[in-house]
């Protein structure tokens, strides 16, 4: 479980950092920021899949509820 936290938070912080860098690059006229923004979005999505508070928790919440 601790490994999921570590990688989830690492990817989350990396994705946020890449998004900030992409905005700075685009503001300075460097069009590579478009690719960096795409990478940031994919890192943030992967963090949501890995982190225990992300998709996994939603799936566990759905299965834990009794059927009505």
Name the packing angle between helices 32-50 and 2-27 (round to 10°).
160
**CA distances, 46 to each of 34, 43, 54 (Å):** 19, 5, 10
Sign of the torsion angle spanned by Cα atoms 20, 25, 40, 3: negative
pLDDT recorded at residue 68: 61
Interval 29-66: pLDDT, tens: 999 999 999 999 999 998 888 877 776 666 666 655 56
- CA–CA dist 45, 42 (Å, integer): 5
């Amino acid at each position: 479980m601790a490994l999921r936290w570590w990688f989830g938070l690492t990817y989350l912080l990396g994705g946020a950092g890449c998004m900030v860098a992409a905005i700075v690059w685009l503001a300075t006229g460097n069009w590579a920021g478009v690719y960096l923004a795409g990478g940031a979005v994919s890192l943030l999505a992967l963090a949501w899949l890995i982190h225990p508070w992300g998709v996994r928790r939603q799936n566990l919440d759905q299965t834990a509820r009794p059927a009505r």
